Structure 1
Amino acid sequence: MLKSLAARTALVTCVVAVMSVLVTAAVGIPLTATQANKAARQRLADDTKLTAELLRPRFVNTPRNPTDEENVAKRLAEQNIEVYLIRSGKADREGLPANVVKAIAAGQNVEVRLAKVGGRIRLVAGRPIGKDGNGVVLAEAPPGGALERFSSQLWIALLAGLAAGLIAGPLLARRIARPIRNVATAAKRLSAGDRTVTLSPDGPTEVAELAHAVNALTAALATSEGREREFLLSVSHELRTPLTTIRGYAEALADGVVGEEGAQRAGQTVLDEAERLDRLIADLLVLARLEAADLPIEVVDVDLTQLLATTAEAWGGRVASAGLVLRTELPPFPVPVSTDPGRIRQILDGLLENALRVVPAQAPLVLALYTSPSAAWIEVRDGGPGFTDEDLAVAFERGALSRRYQGVRKVGSGLGLALAARLSRRLGARIDAGHAPEGGARFTVTFPLRTVS
């Protein structure tokens, strides 16, 4: 029942309303009692002074005004105030404390105080009249009426607070929960494939931020799915091309169109296309495992100088057969790092493969290694057509350059640079693309340097 935000908000509103009334009562009751007591004391003191003045003619040789005396007596009786007269140091009736009577008899004022009068606690105050031990004392019950009224009516305030919470709570809860419901509806539409979902960024700041976030997510999903579709189309094309070639030669061999003299060349072509398919599928599998974060990485101590020398030796024959000039720039000392040499070789092979595809004959291809006190970086540079600044911004996005240069220059599947970027991140390295001094592209893979003990 209380699992929804609306129900919980309504409950909290009611609780807050009731707690507000209780806190107000906790503060208000003592304040009310204090003020009531203070007012009662002041009133009793004033009544005592006035009564003493009006009764003075009874005790001294001055004309009396019975009407005034009767009015005072009547008013005091209406207020439940008892009047005690002191004559020659004695009270007109029993009940007053002896110390009060003694003070009046001595000509002293009795300020308002609590005392037991006739067995009951009362506020008493007295004034002497003349100098013969005469005076008047007033006694009044303590001011408990205001406090009692306040306490007896507290339940009314509690009910009013609860009613206000019950009315305002659901309204407030509905208003608070509406943006969340809208987001939930938008999320369901997004999960169903609707990429036209937008939320109006109205209301409080937090609600507006939530709407902006959902709108940004919608746009990002639409962009990502668009790129995925383009990538699938590109990969489909890359797969279809070697498959078409293999199928064509296979049909020619099966139909006897290719004779003995052309069988070897046809077989070599089929083998080359099969290897191309194998590389493409391998790249796709590696990318999928990288995105799933389960690609095995075997970190060992590696000498980058030796690793690059071995790579240059392995690629030397293939680069020479393509008519290119492979140059190495390696330091004359070991450069130790902790990494996976197999994955480093995979990155370098992909970068060199890309270069062989586009670099013209007799252009330079450079494999270099540089160091600083804190890092080492590998560079693969070439004298090919290179990239524009706009190309560099998307160089490592899957299939971006392949789509951009389709039909303009030789392109691959668009997986190589994306694979190199993801492998670099898994190894704790950083890869960057830039312009090479040889006129073409430059790719830099940077590693934190490790000192061998």
Structure 2
Amino acid sequence: MTGRPRTGPHRSSLARKIVVLTTAVAALAVALTGLIAWQTAAHGAEQRERDQLTRQATVLSRLPAVSEALFTGAQVLAGPNEVQLAVVAADGTVTGTAGPAVDRRSRAALLAGDPVSTTGILGGQEVLLVGQPGVRGGAVVLTEPYAVVTENTNQIRRNVIAPLVFGMLGAALAGALLARRIARPLVTAAQIAHRLADGERGVPAPVDGPRETADIGRALNVLDEALAHSENRQREFLLSVSHDLRTPLTALQGYAEALADGLIEPERVPEVGSILADETRRLDRFLGDLLDLARLEADDFRLDVAPADLRALVSEAAAFWTGLCARHGVDLRLERPEGPVVVATDAFRVRQLIDGLVQNALRVTPEGTPLVLAVRPAAAGGGAELQVRDGGPGLTDDDVRVAFDHGALHERYRDTRPVGSGLGLAIAHRLTGRLGAGIRVEGHGPEGGACFTVTLPSAPAA
């Protein structure tokens, strides 16, 4: 089977969108993490160097002979980071290679017994400056070029870049795997939907996986069953329609050929003409029912809603049908209240509904039995009820379940009861829906036959 051509603008797939979205989220997270790491790297490197200088200065400040020990071990303490030393004497004199970096404020703080951690300028370059008061007065000052902090910061930042890049790549990969997992059941559901649209039936959809995808699978399975059921019904309906059309057409064709061949005696011509007219009217009635049903299915079906007195409407219908019922030996009875029964509805369509139900009932009502047309206010909630009851054979419980299906009762009783086109009750059911009303059927009413009840609301739903 050839699939239907896919039309419409090209759209990117859900999987691709998920990958792009997860990658974008990962990139944003990496960017924020990198920005924070970039800033904290400098602060962390500087703080580490200050802590190291502070520990060294603290050790030196506790020596009994501060100045002699400092100058004796100055070269050793300097080490690879170019640490410079200075001693602040109790009288404020500053000696040592780091002396030029000690400003007046730092010296005053140290002499007052407060530690110092700041920056300064030594030899034209910025340096970290840390000072600790001595245990016997004076203070020790250590400096370190700020370039050491910058170098350590750059090293930390270089070490951070690789994990961030790998993290983003990992997030993109995880997004791709996630997208594939999420999109797979949706792609499967779309493929099944296309197969159903192409006319294939009995296509099972998986109902495992997450709840949402399982719901989609169950919905597709229900749709598959509904489509199969509807198409079977349509097929049966078309077969029934073709059968009903073939019978009068065969009669018309046979008599027409007999007339054309001169096989009909002159005295039988009026009889044959009457038969042809009857079959033609039967075809016309059947095609009229088909058109009515098609109009009811249309979206632009029009209703002219206005206040209508159902008591008067039912009385008019009874006056019309009384003569027809009398010719069939059927007693048409009218049940109505004393006062008017007014609802907002389309009076023309309600009369069409009444006529259809009465015609259906008259067809199966035996001679000498009643046919009742009744109207009364609804028991609760406003509105009104119309009833058509007959004294015919009635309906079984199984008949009641399919009474409003296209041609269902027609197919069952075409050989045992008088039947029409098989569309009358389907039209009545659809028409009540259009009116915002409801219709129900009882297999055996008070007169012994079927009882159809239409409940009309006080006003149709908007």
Q: Could you state the TM-score of these two structures normalised by the residue count of structure 1? A: 0.85
Equivalent position of 1:83 in the other structure:
85
Deviation, structure 1 residue 417: 1.0
Deviation, structure 1 residue 121: 4.3
* Deviations, residues 309-356 of structure 1 (Å, cap 9, x unaligned): 111111111112222211111122222333333322221222112112
* Alignment counterpart, residue 137 of structure 1, candidates 138, 141, 144: 141
Equivalent position of 1:333 in the other structure:
339
Is the Cα contact below 8 Å between 2:436 and 2:456 reproduced in 1? yes
| Distance in 2 between residues matched to 1:276 and 1:73, nearest whole Å | 125
Deviation, structure 1 residue 289: 2.1
Letter in 2 for 1:425: G
* Alignment counterpart, residue 435 of structure 2, candidates 414, 427, 439: 427
Q: Do residues 382 (structure 1) and 390 (structure 2) align?
A: yes
Letter in 2 for 1:89: G
Per mean C-alpha deviation after superposition, the further-off stretch among 185-194 and 358-367 is: 185-194
SS at match of 1:328: strand
Deviation, structure 1 residue 99: 2.3
Q: Do residues 415 (structure 1) and 423 (structure 2) align?
A: yes
Equivalent position of 1:225 in the other structure:
231
Is the Cα contact below 8 Å between 1:96 and 1:118 reproduced in 2? no
Letter in 2 for 1:139: T
Equivalent position of 2:25 in the other structure:
16
Is the Cα contact below 8 Å between 2:118 and 2:128 reproduced in 1? yes
Go from structure 1 to structure 2 and tell me whether the alpha carbon gap of 1:141 and 1:366 turns closer, same or farther (over 3 Å shift).
Answer: farther
Deviation, structure 1 residue 361: 2.3
Equivalent position of 2:3 in the other structure:
none
* Deviations, residues 227-261 of structure 1 (Å, cap 9, x unaligned): 11100111111112222333444455555555555
Equivalent position of 2:247 in the other structure:
241
Deviation, structure 1 residue 192: 2.9
Equivalent position of 2:298 in the other structure:
292
| Distance in 2 between residues matched to 1:264 and 1:253, nearest whole Å | 12
Q: Do residues 275 (structure 1) and 277 (structure 2) align?
A: no
Q: Do residues 51 (structure 1) and 55 (structure 2) align?
A: no
Deviation, structure 1 residue 141: 4.6
Go from structure 1 to structure 2 and tell me whether the alpha carbon gap of 1:134 and 1:352 turns closer, same or farther (over 3 Å shift).
Answer: same
* Deviations, residues 381-409 of structure 1 (Å, cap 9, x unaligned): 12222223333232222122223444343
SS at match of 2:62: helix
Letter in 2 for 1:231: F
Deviation, structure 1 residue 359: 2.2
Deviation, structure 1 residue 76: 4.7
Is the Cα contact below 8 Å between 2:109 and 2:116 reproduced in 1? no
Go from structure 1 to structure 2 and tell me whether the alpha carbon gap of 1:214 and 1:146 turns closer, same or farther (over 3 Å shift).
Answer: farther
* Deviations, residues 45-100 of structure 1 (Å, cap 9, x unaligned): 3222112124x23459xxx799xx74x86355334432211234211142211222
Flag structure 2 segments of 5+ consecutive residues without an equivalent.
1-9
Letter in 2 for 1:442: C
| Distance in 2 between residues matched to 1:403 and 1:135, nearest whole Å | 116
Go from structure 1 to structure 2 and tell me whether the alpha carbon gap of 1:421 and 1:65 turns closer, same or farther (over 3 Å shift).
Answer: closer
Q: Do residues 128 (structure 1) and 128 (structure 2) align?
A: no
Is the Cα contact below 8 Å between 1:286 and 1:295 reproduced in 2? no
Is the Cα contact below 8 Å between 1:59 and 1:134 reproduced in 2? no
| Distance in 2 between residues matched to 1:58 and 1:161, nearest whole Å | 52
Is the Cα contact below 8 Å between 2:389 and 2:449 reproduced in 1? yes
Equivalent position of 1:189 in the other structure:
195
Is the Cα contact below 8 Å between 1:18 and 1:158 reproduced in 2? no
Per mean C-alpha deviation after superposition, the further-off stretch among 411-420 and 330-339 is: 330-339
Go from structure 1 to structure 2 and tell me whether the alpha carbon gap of 1:243 and 1:187 turns closer, same or farther (over 3 Å shift).
Answer: same
Letter in 1 for 2:141: V
Go from structure 1 to structure 2 and tell me whether the alpha carbon gap of 1:30 and 1:95 turns closer, same or farther (over 3 Å shift).
Answer: closer
| Distance in 1 between residues matched to 2:105 and 2:304, nearest whole Å | 102
* Deviations, residues 110-147 of structure 1 (Å, cap 9, x unaligned): 2433445555544433233354x532112235644554
Letter in 1 for 2:142: L
* Alignment counterpart, residue 117 of structure 2, candidates 100, 109, 112: 112
Flag structure 1 segments of 5+ consecutive residues without an equivalent.
none
Is the Cα contact below 8 Å between 1:369 and 1:376 reproduced in 2? yes
Equivalent position of 2:407 in the other structure:
399
Letter in 2 for 1:24: T
Equivalent position of 1:445 in the other structure:
454
Count matched residues: 441
* Alignment counterpart, residue 363 of structure 1, candidates 364, 369, 374: 369
| Distance in 2 between residues matched to 1:86 and 1:421, nearest whole Å | 108
Is the Cα contact below 8 Å between 2:196 and 2:203 reproduced in 1? yes
Is the Cα contact below 8 Å between 1:14 and 1:161 reproduced in 2? no
Go from structure 1 to structure 2 and tell me whether the alpha carbon gap of 1:224 and 1:277 turns closer, same or farther (over 3 Å shift).
Answer: same
| Distance in 2 between residues matched to 1:282 and 1:345, nearest whole Å | 17
Deviation, structure 1 residue 149: 3.1
